[in-house]
Amino acid sequence: MLFKNLLFFLVVITQLNCYGQTKLSRLEKKILKQVSLNQENAIIFLEKVVNINSGTLNKKGVRMVGDVFRNAFDDINFSTQWMEMPEEMNRAGHLFAYKKGSKGKKLLLIGHLDTVFEENSPFQTFERRDSIAYAPGGNDMKGGNVVMLYALKALDDLNLLNKSTITVALTGDEESTGKPLSISRKDLIEAAKNSDIALGFENSTGYNNATIARRGSSGWSVTTTGVRAHSSGIFRDSIGAGAIFEMGRILHKFYEEVRGEELLTFNPGNLMGGTFVNYDENKAEGVIFGKTNVIPQIAKVNGGLRFISEEQKERARNKMRLIVQESLPYTTATISFTDSYPAMQPSEGNSKLLKLLSDVSLSLKQGEVFPYDPGKRGAADVSFVADYVDALDGLGTMGSGAHTPNETVNLKTMEALISRTAIFIHRLVNIKN
């Protein structure tokens, strides 16, 4: 209900104010011309970075993409720094770019260099078909990085960023965050603490939506054990139900008793059971051994949990713990949880940012912008900073099929999105503190 009420409120406010949007100034019209001049180069740049594989575990590839962006930010007068991660984390690190000034709001712009497509993926290259580009990681989210970069480039070309304070954070492990989070997200959080506003450039859901709230993400794992014996003895008082029936009881109760809260979802991603099981977390694959005439002595399930607040997350976890404690005869069960992404809750500050973006969009005749349903979005790096700054996400490219072999970028929309971003940033950095 929280999100629905907020959506209703924002719809009313934007309807009341849609006639008072700021028209484009003469300077802003120059910005649009500069974006247009750079448009074909933006697409060429996108093709270049897409054609460098940067699956999260391909540390060399992530660094190579980072180097391309680093040179581009150097060229527009940003200072750049590569943030190394400890070797044992098996992550490439992050690229940060800085511009220090004394005017307007201090901005943090967030993207990521890595993709879900590792080196062994058959989907590796950029292919342009008219106005659509088939591009691994192009929509999520190298295209968003390009929108950010070329918006800043247009402003720098016109010397409009000289007094601004902007930090760009391009993480190298958004698709599979390095652990512990206290190290892998330390620099991002510190940047947020020194900023006023954060803008995330994850893929866009269209001209008329942006993200003021995202659900958090965490993992859970259940292990059950039973008495190994001949299957003819199952359910006897001295043998019990076995590990798989106990797992079935738990999952069924999760479905019946934990499910139901708005914006709360949980999913068992893989399930194994038998005499022996062996699961490799790094490869997300497992091996089992078990026969139909042997009562299974072990079962394992690994899943994910999505939530809109820490309170909702803890409520769900407590319900799951209580269910796990109620074991069938001669079985045991344990559950563990791992934190990944916190929730980005809707806030008044986020809503005000959305209104400012909508004002820009109306100025460009792109239509009003409304909050996107957080139940339809995954987790993202902006969630790590949302407790410290007003934030908005979903400002990247339009496309389809993210994380699939049919991932696309709609090239026809890129100029409009870069233009909107450039005007939005220009207005933000000129707000008087």
- CATH topology agreement for domains 2-214+344-429 and 216-341: no
Residue 293, number of CB atoms within 10 A of its CB: 8
Q: What residues contact residue 130 under an 8 Å CB cut-off, 6+ apart?
A: none
* pLDDT score recorded for residue 103: 86
Residue 222 forms beta bridges with which residues?
301, 335
Distance CA 308, CA 359 (A): 27
- How confident is the model over 386-429, as pLDDT tens digits? 999 999 999 999 999 999 999 999 999 999 999 999 999 999 99
CA distances 258 to 205, 216, 334, 342, Å, are 30, 17, 17, 20
Residue 40, number of CB atoms within 10 A of its CB: 10
- The yes-or-no verdict on residue 8 having pLDDT over 50 is no
* Nearest residue to 304 via CA among 258, 331, 269: 269
What element of type H or E holds 380?
none
* pLDDT score recorded for residue 432: 82
- How confident is the model over 194-232, as pLDDT tens digits? 999 999 999 998 899 999 999 999 999 999 999 999 999
Q: Model confidence at 12, in pLDDT bands (50, 70, 90)?
A: very low
Q: In the chain, what percentage of residues exceed pLDDT 70?
A: 95
Q: Model confidence at 344, in pLDDT bands (50, 70, 90)?
A: very high
Distance CA 312, CA 387 (A): 16
Radius of gyration (C-alpha) of the chain in whole angstroms: 24
Q: Model confidence at 102, in pLDDT bands (50, 70, 90)?
A: confident
- The yes-or-no verdict on residue 86 having pLDDT over 90 is yes
| Mean pLDDT score, 48-72 | 98
Distance CA 247, CA 345 (A): 33
* pLDDT score recorded for residue 123: 96
CATH 1.10.3720.10 fits 2-214+344-429, yes or no: no
Residue 4, number of CB atoms within 10 A of its CB: 10
Residue 220 forms beta bridges with which residues?
303, 337
Q: Model confidence at 284, in pLDDT bands (50, 70, 90)?
A: confident
Distance CA 211, CA 89 (A): 30
- Residue 393 gets which letter from DSSP? B
Q: Model confidence at 306, in pLDDT bands (50, 70, 90)?
A: very high
Distance CA 206, CA 203 (A): 9
All structural domains of the chain with their residue ranges: 2-214+344-429, 216-341
Q: Picking from 7-16, 144-153, 209-218, 398-407, which range would have the lowest pLDDT averaged per residue?
A: 7-16
Give, rounded to a whole angstrom, the gap between the first and last alpha carbons of the chain: 34
* pLDDT score recorded for residue 21: 52
User: Topology of 216-341 in CATH?
Assistant: Alpha-Beta Plaits (3.30.70)
Q: Picking from 29-33, 175-179, 225-229, 397-401, which range would have the lowest pLDDT averaged per residue?
A: 175-179
Residues 168/76, Cβ–Cβ less than 8 Å: no
Mean pLDDT score across all residues of the chain: 94
* Nearest residue to 107 via CA among 199, 43, 31, 22: 199
Q: Model confidence at 283, in pLDDT bands (50, 70, 90)?
A: confident
Q: What residues contact residue 26 under an 8 Å CB cut-off, 6+ apart?
A: none
- Residue 105 gets which letter from DSSP? E
Q: In the chain, what percentage of residues exceed pLDDT 90?
A: 90
Report pTM: 0.86
CA distances 245 to 163, 298, 393, Å, are 65, 10, 43
Pairing of the two strands 103-112 and 197-200? parallel
Distance CA 382, CA 350 (A): 12
- How confident is the model over 252-269, as pLDDT tens digits? 999 999 999 999 999 999
- How confident is the model over 351-368, as pLDDT tens digits? 999 999 999 999 999 999
* pLDDT score recorded for residue 10: 47
What element of type H or E holds 357?
helix 348-363
Distance CA 207, CA 418 (A): 12
Pairing of the two strands 127-129 and 298-307? unpaired
